[in-house]
Chains A and B, each alone.
Chain A
Amino acid sequence: MAQDLYRRPAPGQHPPHRVDAYKSTPNRSPRKPAVVLPQTLSEITGPLLRGERLGAEENDLTRQRMGPPLGERIVVHGRVLDEDGKPVPDALVEIWQCNAAGRYHHPGDQHYAPLDPNFHGGGRARADSDGAYQFVTIKPGAYPWKNHHNAWRPAHIHFSLFGPAFATRLITQMYFPNDPLLAIDPIYNSVPEAARPRLQAAFDLGATRPEWALAYRFDIVLRGRNATPMEDEHG
């Protein structure tokens, strides 16, 4: 039996598929256990999207429109790492978020809060050889949703990462520290308790830009590789 290239996640790191407090999940979760598949070439390869040319403004969400958006300007930066702390170089990082008033530039978002013509809320960055990425954006607002009476999402930024393989694909959300809404959010709390802090960015005084923007650090950890005594031969 060939060894898997990527380690299987230890239990207690990801949410279960079904979390009854998050009311969209019961009808949108598999009932049957997943079929465990040895990692083949199909799983250990994946889109690297190295041919995607990123425009100069793609990682600065405050400079994509005619003028600066309203809201508190922030720097969000960090590193894309694997479980062994090794950088994932050149990783494509995609983000999207609502504006400072808590509304998405999306036709389905009917929250009674203003749209900001200067903020669309989508960005991309390419991590460097050390896995480091950076965005400039504005702090997203909290917004209500219809999950239950008086339900509000804590401020968050959606993150999408491919990593090196189909097996490492991850979509997640970054939250801000000390947000009182975290304690009552079914999506944040879908994650096992010990793992929840990994979804919170850290306030990063050292990376703030004086007279310009506060900074938050959010490191993203993707699946690590199994230790291999020699290089596998695939095929």
Chain B
Amino acid sequence: MADGLTPSQTIGPFYWGTLVSSCRADLAPAGVAGERIELALTLHDAEGVLISDGLLEIWQANSHGRYNHPEDRRNLPLDPGFEGFGRASTDATGTARFATVRPGPVPWPQGGMQAPHINISVFARGVLNRLATRLYFDGDPALAGDPVLKLVDPARRSTLLAKRDAEGVWRLPIHIGGAHETVFFDS
């Protein structure tokens, strides 16, 4: 063993069925406060081809904007049974689905608030490093003042905006490369 970080490697194609908790798509059991939402995240490669062997994870605050984590020391309610973590494989249509609650706003370190968002980790065969992005909710008035979106080229902000479809599902295409490449974050 040597000093330094353990390097990242691809998840590969064969985690499903062997990675024990490879599905945790329903985050909010009955009784969890907030607006119920469904998410459908669809993964595309640089040529637009659907990626059917990916794994998506989400991490979010609850409806009060509180993260279930000791680093969030604010006096806001925690919901029993709501951890805020989800994990789902993409299917033959490249889509991973989650049922959760709409998160509340969370603070920005320099003051003010961030618009409600869901943090996403993308893993797939051929992806050597975890790709981190965010989902925001199209039409949310808080988007205009969001300090993270302000760091993003205005022409690319729409890659982070989930849109509500006719069935009420929030849909977000995630493009790893290509003309509609999703904005990924390095934090």
Residues of A within 8 A of B (CB): 1-2, 4-5, 9-10, 13-17, 19, 22, 24-32, 34-49, 51-52, 58, 83, 94, 96-98, 104-109, 120-124, 158, 160, 164-167, 169-173, 187-188, 190-192, 194-199, 202, 217-223, 232, 234-235
- In the assembled complex, the CB of A61 is this many whole angstroms from the nearest CB of chain B, namely 10
Of B1, B2, B110, B186, the most chain A CB neighbours within 10 A belong to B1
How near does chain B come to A175, taking the closest CB pair, in angstroms? 9
A200 nearest CB neighbor, chain B only: B1
Interchain CB contact under 8 A, B5 and A222 = yes
The answer to whether A41 and B107 have CB atoms under 8 Å apart is yes
B interface with A by C-beta (< 8 Å): 1-21, 45-47, 49, 51, 53, 57, 59, 61, 67-69, 71-74, 83-85, 106-110, 114, 117, 119, 121, 123-132, 134, 148, 151-152, 156, 176-177, 181-187
Whether A13 touches B119, Cβ cut-off 8 Å, given contacts A26-B46, A30-B184, is: no
CB-CB under 8 A from A173, the residues of chain B are 9-10, 12
Question: Is the CB–CB distance between A13 and B5 below 8 Å?
Answer: yes
A24–B98 Cα gap in the complex (Å)?
27
Interface residues of A: mostly helix, strand, loop or mixed? loop
Whether A108 pairs with B13 at a CB distance below 8 angstroms is yes
A40 pairs with B128, CB closer than 8 A: no
Residue from B15, B57, B125 within 8 A of A96 (CB atoms): B15
Across the interface, name the chain A residue whose C-beta is closest to B11. Answer: A171
**Distance from A111 Cβ to chain B, minimum over Cβ atoms (Å):** 10
Instruction: Using CB atoms, name the residue of chain A closest to B113.
Output: A235
* Chain A residues closer than 8 Å to B14, beta-carbon distance: 96, 98, 104, 106, 108-109
